[in-house]
Chains A and B, each alone.
Chain A
């Protein structure tokens, strides 16, 4: 039997989201290796253009569910469309980007097939025998090679940016298969009341040229303010960023948070102090031109992202660095 790979597409403003295109790109690679097809499913309302875009971008067949109750994402709406489709198509793999929506949805579907999800994958090996995905447990301190020994369908989600989508065609000519779906409101258990911005966002880090960010490694709110403040002052004013644990501990308001649940930044200079480099933070800083990381743990994953790395105690290092920066700026 052909080993088809099905991608569950997320869309926004009438276009497929990038993590879905990255999953489509991997689906094409997997399908090529096994002689199967790259399939996709789009659920929405008035989303014909999304389905067409996915068909042009490399899906051989796009299964499109259009219903007014699918206009707003709900796990039940999507599940009721996608689960029967998986039963019908019998794909070998079901893929999604490792997004918030995927984490809210995919395990609900995989559980129906008695399967777990190989989540947040960063790499893949494929041969005639088997597919092996790579994940990064223990906050990316280790790499695990994972094999799903259960029967198809298998489920996996892909870390954002780990699988590039650059090689997708623009005029693939895949077909769109429109499905009808019988949905009633009483089967959708999540009633969405509103979607809003999380609190007042007064801090815009996205356009900052220089950012000094601190992490839990600084130890306390006082140390954070003291050490980060020294660097900000030395730089003649830089924006202040933070990792999630720092804002969760209320050392700093929420709108200073950088990362997947905060802001995505692209400064010329990012200095991270006491930040270990959890992936949720790192995805927010990858657009930085130069990354300086200061951390006491030489194995901290932040050093995999850094241009310049300094291993040591922030309390000793930061005053010296702040002074040197201030002197350099005056000369």
Chain B
């Protein structure tokens, strides 16, 4: 089975974010980037499904500028077979629906029966692209997937529920799954994997080649507009305790005893 995995490159979790002059975007230069956490789990899940079946192809797709090529390289080094980079400027700057439209076009062009995505990008955090994609493709989907195996007629899927519960269900293929962080341990990349990745093909289809008109994708196609982006107003009552470690410790203990009365 061919499995398409959609991944996204996001700023490093510890990155200091600066806003640009428009006040609606972060400054991207001088940031360090990484593959989004749940997307790494999606790649791992695809590789395990391929290994369990003993056949198949894992194709990773990312939408992003030139820098995002690195996310593809990492996935290829883990063991994915091929990459697709939606790097054309017309793809960039869209909302989750624009991204889902582009991914739907790739899924159709690739005729991939299974599409995996991470559940949620750690940058904009919409947590909706996989299910929008399923809606556009009219495929069954499961969000927050914590387990998946191929069975006769489709997939058996474990979905995470609130309050530490899980739902086990079966869905037919073709399908879309949103993979939750923690589903499997993610493998380390070997040097051999990194060397092999350099020889693996990465396509760069244009919107036209995918049958997408420019006003349905990217900045031109987006419905959701960021009017402003700013640090949150501090509503916090947090009292910061400063000093040397010993001074902090003494002050904290004193406050916990006298003010909070919890010690």
Interface residues of A (CB under 8 A from B): 75-76, 99-100, 103-112, 114-120, 132, 135-150, 189-199, 201, 210, 244-245, 247-248, 250, 254-255, 257, 260-263, 268-269, 276, 289-290, 292-293, 297, 299, 301, 303-312, 316-317, 319-321, 323-325, 327-329
* 19 additional contacts (CB under 8 A) given A144-B228, A321-B245: A99-B162, A104-B131, A107-B129, A107-B134, A112-B135, A116-B95, A116-B96, A116-B126, A117-B128, A119-B126, A147-B224, A190-B171, A198-B166, A199-B164, A305-B236, A306-B236, A308-B239, A319-B245, A325-B249
* Listed A/B pairs (29) with beta-carbon separation below 8 Å: A76-B140, A100-B143, A103-B127, A103-B144, A104-B131, A106-B128, A106-B131, A107-B129, A108-B132, A110-B135, A117-B128, A118-B224, A135-B125, A137-B124, A138-B123, A142-B231, A143-B231, A198-B165, A244-B181, A245-B181, A269-B256, A269-B263, A292-B252, A299-B231, A304-B232, A307-B239, A308-B238, A310-B241, A312-B248
Give CA–CA (A199, B17) in the complex, Å: 38
List, in ascending order, chain B residues with CB within 8 A of A149's CB: 223-225
B225 touches A195 (CB 8 A): no
Interface residues of B in 216-238 (CB under 8 A from A): 223-238
Give CA–CA (A135, B167) in the complex, Å: 29
Nearest chain B CB to A247's CB is how many angstroms away?
Answer: 7
A244 touches B228 (CB 8 A): no
A260 touches B162 (CB 8 A): yes
Give CA–CA (A317, B242) in the complex, Å: 11
Interface size class of B (residues with CB under 8 A): 35 or more
A120 touches B125 (CB 8 A): yes
List, in ascending order, chain A residues with CB within 8 A of B132's CB: 107-108, 110-111, 116-117
Nearest chain B CB to A278's CB is how many angstroms away?
Answer: 9
Q: In the A-B complex, list the 4 residue pairs whose CB atoms are closest, starting with the nearest.
A: A111-B135, A248-B182, A150-B223, A107-B131
The winner among B161, B170, B226, B233 for most chain A CB atoms within 10 A is: B161
Give CA–CA (A306, B234) in the complex, Å: 12
Chain A facing B: main interface SS: mixed
B56 interface hit (Cβ, 8 Å): no
B141 touches A108 (CB 8 A): yes
A104 touches B223 (CB 8 A): no
Give CA–CA (A29, B262) in the complex, Å: 40
Interface residues of B (CB under 8 A from A): 11, 13-14, 17, 19, 26, 37, 95-97, 100, 119, 122-129, 131-136, 140-144, 146, 156, 159-162, 164-172, 181-182, 185, 223-242, 245-246, 248-250, 252-253, 255-257, 260, 262-263
B252 touches A316 (CB 8 A): no
The winner among B119, B128, B241 for most chain A CB atoms within 10 A is: B128
Nearest chain A CB to B184's CB is how many angstroms away?
Answer: 10
The winner among A114, A144, A262, A293 for most chain B CB atoms within 10 A is: A144
List, in ascending order, chain A residues with CB within 8 A of B236's CB: 303-306
Give CA–CA (A194, B242) in the complex, Å: 52
Closest to B136 in A: A111
B182 touches A247 (CB 8 A): yes
Which of A107, A192, A247 interacts with B128 by CB under 8 Å?
A: A107
List, in ascending order, chain B residues with CB within 8 A of A289's CB: 260, 262
List, in ascending order, chain A residues with CB within 8 A of B232's CB: 136, 140-143, 301, 304
List, in ascending order, chain A residues with CB within 8 A of B227's CB: 132, 145-147
B97 touches A111 (CB 8 A): yes
List, in ascending order, chain B residues with CB within 8 A of A106's CB: 128, 131
List, in ascending order, chain B residues with CB within 8 A of A268's CB: 262
A192 touches B167 (CB 8 A): yes
List, in ascending order, chain B residues with CB within 8 A of A297's CB: 14
Closest to B216 in A: A114
A328 touches B263 (CB 8 A): yes
B225 touches A193 (CB 8 A): no
Nearest chain B CB to A119's CB is how many angstroms away?
Answer: 5
